Amino acid sequence: MSQRVLDLLIQRFPQAVLETHAQHGDETAVVEAASWAKVAEFLKASPDISMEMLTDLTAVDYLEREPRFEIVAHFYSLSKGHRLRLKTRVGNAQGEGVEVATLVPLWAAANWMERECYDLFGVRFVGHPDLRRILMYPEFEGHPLRKDYIATRTQPLIEYRDAPNIDKVAPFGFDEGMSFGRQTHQFLTDEE
């Protein structure tokens, strides 16, 4: 059934679909970056396809290739029972120009997935309502899942943030954290 989805995509977007392939029941379409959102909208809105669910969205860094990054989205049709992997390629060898249109207006789940992709790979999703880091702290420099990111790089230290009118607690209670490193206290038991 997913092969039919690929056929419909090629029929509807003959210039935008760069390539397709299927392996072990996983159909994949690679589309031009400029058509990314338009193709995704067709996948959701077409009654023959009905991709109601965006199950995953991420990126892959191919350091030695240009365009360097592949943006990958996995879709599933709850009503039809088929799935599709949609890819597009963006960015130059220096990691610049890594941007594609957001899918948030189509699938709310894209919000956090795109933020994670931005945070870890540096992919900019044009039109995203709140594109900011989601896993790393705001002052973190670089994007740690890029192949050219230096893993031993020292990141800037930041002060503990105080916010007005918020009762803050330490990151760990006296009995939490690394138990092997906390040998100076006793645990209370129910008997005590």
Mean pLDDT of 9-23: 95
| Rounded CA separation 69/52 (Å) | 26
Q: What is the pLDDT of residues 111-139, one digit of tens each?
A: 999 999 999 999 999 999 999 999 998 88
- What is the tally of structural domains in the chain? 1
- Examine residue 191 and state whether it is found in any structural domain, yes or no: no
- Examine residue 52 and state whether it is found in any structural domain, yes or no: yes
At 153, is the pLDDT very low, low, confident or very high (cuts 50, 70, 90)? confident
User: What confidence score (pLDDT) does residue 182 get?
Assistant: 43
- Examine residue 97 and state whether it is found in any structural domain, yes or no: yes
User: How far lies 117's CA from each of 48, 104, 106, 120, in Å?
Assistant: 30, 13, 17, 5
Structure token digits, residue 120 = 């870890």
At 52, is the pLDDT very low, low, confident or very high (cuts 50, 70, 90)? very high
User: What confidence score (pLDDT) does residue 151 get?
Assistant: 83
Number of H helices and E strands in the chain, helices first, is 3, 7
User: What confidence score (pLDDT) does residue 25 get?
Assistant: 77
- Examine residue 118 and state whether it is found in any structural domain, yes or no: yes
Mean pLDDT of 81-91: 96
- Examine residue 188 and state whether it is found in any structural domain, yes or no: no
Q: Which residue has the tokens 């989601």?
A: 134
Instruction: Work out the angle at residue 139's Cα, subtended by the Cα atoms of residues 157 and 132, and round it to the nearest 5 degrees.
Output: 150
**pLDDT above 70: residue 164:** no
- Examine residue 106 and state whether it is found in any structural domain, yes or no: yes
Query: What's the Rg (C-alpha) of the chain?
Result: 22
Domain that holds residue 98: 2-181
- Examine residue 26 and state whether it is found in any structural domain, yes or no: yes
- CATH number where 88 lies: 3.30.460.80
Look over the chain and give the mean of its residue pLDDT values, rounded to a whole number.
87
Q: Tell me if 7 sits within 8 A of 46, measured CB to CB.
A: no
User: What confidence score (pLDDT) does residue 24 get?
Assistant: 82
Measured over the CA atoms of residue 70, residue 85, residue 46 and residue 12, the dihedral's sign is: positive
